[in-house]
Chain A
């Protein structure tokens, strides 16, 4: 079974969002990392601004690549550099491994995302 954390918001494409003030930390869920298997590369090109639904990069596992989609709109503040050297951190601790940090331009977009219970139900 894959783990789901209370208090985060989830997208249908398996990203999670943790909110601190108007900043969204975005990562991928335990379900997503298990589906991908050993993650070998986090490919996030330089992007300044994202709209909700935009592709902002991809995770590469041995077998496949999986595109990343931003659940929110805003200005990209930072990419998690630790993951560039150690992409396996996403497998080890998916909810502790944020991939990008976005300054939200429209926090109401969070309402369109799922809470932990709904997300867990989606993956049943």
Chain B
């Protein structure tokens, strides 16, 4: 338990304790795993609205005359055609195609810089990587993670809540993967239509003090606080990867089925040659979805086998899906066995349970166009 001494707190830590959340270490932070229960929280987001403290996420700002060229150098997606107020998803890669992190890139209004929102566990590593690869570019990099809080309000009722409770009228005309700048308690508030649940929703970035104020207003209005437990069940059903499970220094976006976020037609970016090679030659492994016939629950690390018992892969994330009522998982398998409909087995404790390869997006997402 000596690790706990160095755990970091988000600006909402006191709120979580007051709400009686079950807390657990995540990405170096003491984070809420659940409040009322994972199933109730999951269902609130699918059917109504729920909110998450995601203040642990990292915020890195890129500015300067060559900001666009620099971001395109370190990022797999293409920001050259991204309008101010637009957001794109993609990865930073090592030269061998392994993944430094997956992230969102926000094209700022005004001077035209960028905000990069990165995973908490990778924040320091990412910032070092970005600095190491900035030579030759006239850019300024600022890791402002400690100065920003972030709340994700997710679910079909989230637009109404932001208008009615917070008075953010601008959300009605905001499209998915777009943001606008507002003001909260005299400071900048970024209102972003985005999320990690497969539902419509928003992510609100502002100062730690503003974040606490927004959180309390939403609690007072009856918005259900949701923990990282259901954040994982929701993103899993929506087919979204989690760095560390489905993406890592050892798992490339090609293996993870994320090639649509890697623009190989760009002139250059770090890792491009490796991805081109992987595209041409194919990868040895691929990330697939698996559905089990039985009620057994596949968990990360469980072996994936052929019906004859030959080991061909490993489960990366799995659940008995709350919204779908089926036992599902992501698994990294030998590419020979990755075709839809392929019959495989997942070994759950001592027994092998029959499964077949299905599409990874298990749940039909409900994003606002």
Contact = CB atoms under 8 A, between A and B. Distances in A.
Interface of A: 37-38, 40-41, 43, 45, 55, 58, 60, 62-65, 67
Contact of B37 (A38, A41, A67): A38
B37 A40 contact: no
Given A62-B229, A62-B322, A43 B38 contact: no
A40 B320 contact: yes
Interface in B156-182: none
B319 interface: yes
Given A37-B34, A43-B348, A62-B42, 8 more contacts: A38-B39, A45-B351, A60-B320, A62-B39, A62-B320, A63-B38, A63-B229, A67-B349
A65 B37 contact: no
Nearest to B325: A40
Interface stretch (B7-15, B62-70, B295-303): B295-303
B119 interface: no
B295 A41 contact: yes
A9 to B, nearest CB: 26
Contacts of B299: 64-65
A64 B318 CA distance: 10
Contacts of B349: 43, 55, 58, 65, 67
A33 B351 CA distance: 24
Interface of A is mostly: strand
B294 to A, nearest CB: 9
Nearest to B37: A38
B295 A62 contact: no
B207 interface: no
A41 B297 contact: yes
A37 B297 contact: no
Interface in B264-315: 295-297, 299
Nearest to A58: B349
**Most central of A41, A62, A64 by chain B CB within 10 Å:** A62
B211 interface: no
Nearest to B33: A63
5 contacts: A38-B38, A40-B297, A40-B320, A41-B297, A64-B299
The 7 A-B pairs at the shortest CB distance, nearest first, are namely A62-B38, A60-B297, A38-B39, A40-B320, A38-B37, A41-B295, A38-B38
Contacts of B297: 40-41, 60, 65
Contacts of A58: 349
Contacts of B296: 41, 43, 60
A38 to B, nearest CB: 5
Interface of B: 22, 33-34, 37-39, 42, 229, 233, 295-297, 299, 319-320, 322, 348-349, 351
A63 B319 CA distance: 8
A70 to B, nearest CB: 15
Contacts of A37: 22, 34, 37-38, 229
A31 to B, nearest CB: 14
Contacts of A63: 33, 38, 229
Contacts of B38: 37-38, 62-63
A37 B37 CA distance: 7
A55 B351 CA distance: 13
A58 B37 CA distance: 20
B352 to A, nearest CB: 13
Nearest to A45: B351
A63 B233 CA distance: 9
A81 to B, nearest CB: 14
A60 B140 CA distance: 49
A65 B348 CA distance: 10
Contacts of B351: 45
A64 B34 CA distance: 14
Contacts of B295: 41, 43
Contacts of B233: 62
A63 B322 CA distance: 11
A107 to B, nearest CB: 29
Contacts of A67: 349
B299 to A, nearest CB: 6
Contacts of A60: 296-297, 320
B293 to A, nearest CB: 14
A45 B294 CA distance: 13
Contacts of A45: 351
Contacts of A55: 349
Nearest to B40: A38
A61 to B, nearest CB: 8
